[in-house]
Amino acid sequence: MKAGLYARISQDEHGTEKGVQRQLEDARAVAEVRGWEVVGEWADNDVSAYSGATRPGYQALMESAAAGEFDRIVVYMTSRLWRSRRERAEAMDLLADRRISVAAVSGPELELASASGRMVAGILGEFDTAESAIKGERVARAALQRAQEGRASGPVLYGWRREPVLDDEGRQVSFRDVEDEDQADIVRELVDRIIAGESMKGIGEDFNRRGVPVPSGRAGVKWRAGTVRKLALRPANIAKRVHHGLKRDRLGRRAPRHSGPCVDACIIGDAAWPPIIEEERHREVVALLTNNSRRTTIATNNRVHLLTYGIGRCGVCGADLRVKSWRYHRKRTGQTVQRTLYTCEAKGCTSRDEPSVDDLVGQVVVARLSAPDAALPDLTATRGRTGAEDQQRIAEELRQRLNEAAADYADGLIDRLQLREISGRLRPQMEIAERKATRTCATPDPKPLRDLLTNASIQTAWAQLDVRGRRRVLEVLNLSVSLLPTRQGPGFEPTDVVIEWAPSSHD
């Protein structure tokens, strides 16, 4: 008889693999006593068999079983082999077909080729599955209680550090998370820089150059745009506790495992740790990063142009401008020339040479700011969001009504047609309110314009600004540019560019 040995433990906090080694030692002893030849050993350390996580050792074991490399599988207990009903059923069919039995160090030997052997394996397997399910319910209930109390689950979050709470005898009874000044300053810095218009990729690259440790703390891992975005959007920044709970589908019914991210994650209350970002500031950065309009694109796009995403308009249909490349061949010189053009995003009504238009806009802005009687917005006004809170409240109320309708459907209080009618009425209203809330963008950062005005030479200061800084200036000045059509192709004529100074929304 040939035997294959398998070992597994669910948790190994220190990664020493001592648990699987003990199981393999006991399995070898059983094989030696019974005179079985050990042809292979497989193990999965720190991997759950109930959660559906990939088990490379188990998969290799099953592949060897399918190839007929052994007659017995020796495990410490059958629960080491299976916890999932699906995996157990699939494996029992395979092992029965290959006439491979399972011998447990602590348990019976299961002859899966016989009906009685499969029955016993199924009964034992149900106990193993139930044990994991009951444990999972206890863990989930404890996690919910921690969330309701505002306490953290797992490691301390980036931006805070953990301190023990001791009783009168000096024994640790709990812990509390307090602000870590260095890490909190990094979170505040990235939030401020995103609101100021910097790209998340650029912020991450700057952190890497400065040697700022990443939140994971792992060596060799670098800051990325996704890391910056995740930190900026966390409700934890304003001391709000999020709980993901059970996975449910869109109608409120419990979804099967492995069905993707939880759809019912929600803020359930105040957290036990102190906030590191002001609520108004948090709402502002969330609006920027979750908005599908131009401000989100600017914050996440590497290529930024002066007049795209809302500042420049088509003078025919009013659509936004986009930038495209255009190549043409000069017959006289035989050269191929590539140019970048502003063009109508909707219909291509008009196109103009991008560098020439940008240069004209710069000249006009510098001339206006240099004039002694220039009318400028109030640069000392408090930055904020106007009207967004009302729309957010409306959207949240409508979302709550939709959730209540879904719960009523799940409980059988309304039927599918009623749910569909309710959703058809409320969802469009909610989407409109959400769009209005996100389009009510934050007041543009006045710092670039303030720096421009305090410089000895406005023209030199304008030339030194990058594209994002120039955009901030145009936004504070509430400037818009329209490109008129022409018969001379995508060239440039100053008279085809209309620059308007709309009344400032901040005055």
- According to CATH, the superfamily of the domain at 2-145 is Resolvase, N-terminal catalytic domain (3.40.50.1390)
Distance, in Å, from the CA atom of 119 to the CA atom of 98, rounded to the nearest integer, reads 17
Length of the chain: 507
- pLDDT score, position 388: 60
Residue that is written with structure tokens 């008889």 in the block: 1
Using alpha carbons, select from 507, 474, 479, 442 the residue that is nearest to residue 196. Answer: 442
- Confidence at residue 220, expressed as pLDDT on a 0 to 100 scale: 81
Largest CA distance in the chain: 101
Helix 388-410 to helix 279-290 angle, to the nearest 10 degrees?
70
Q: So what's the pLDDT on residue 455?
A: 83
Chunked into runs of 10 residues, the chain (507 residues) has average pLDDT values of 92 78 93 94 87 87 94 92 88 92 90 89 85 75 67 82 86 85 94 85 92 85 91 89 54 40 52 89 84 43 70 84 78 76 83 90 90 69 54 81 82 83 80 60 67 86 88 85 75 84 52
Q: How far apart are CA 221 and CA 79, in angstroms?
A: 36
Q: Which of 349, 315, 295, 309 is nearest to 500 (CA)?
A: 315
Tell me what pLDDT residue 140 has: 67
Burial class for 260, CB neighbours closer than 10 Å (0-12, 13-18, 19+): exposed
Q: Coil, helix or strand for 102?
A: strand
Look up the pTM and report it: 0.43
> Regarding the domain with residue range 177-296, which homologous superfamily does it belong to in the CATH classification?
Putative Large Serine Recombinase; Chain B, Domain 2 (3.90.1750.20)
pLDDT score of 267: 54
Pairing outcome for strands 72-75 and 2-9: parallel
Distance of alpha carbon 223 from alpha carbon 225, whole angstroms: 7
In this structure, the number of other CB atoms found within 10 A of the CB of residue 157 comes to 21
Question: Would you call 229 helix, strand, or coil by DSSP?
Answer: helix
Residue partners of 91: CB distance under 8 A and separation at least 6 = 62, 81, 82
Q: Where in 231-389 does DSSP place strands (E)?
A: 240-243, 266-270, 312-314, 321-329, 336-344, 351-353
Residue 155's pLDDT is what?
81
Whole-number Å distance between alpha carbons of 354 and 343? 9
For 16, the 3-state DSSP assignment is coil
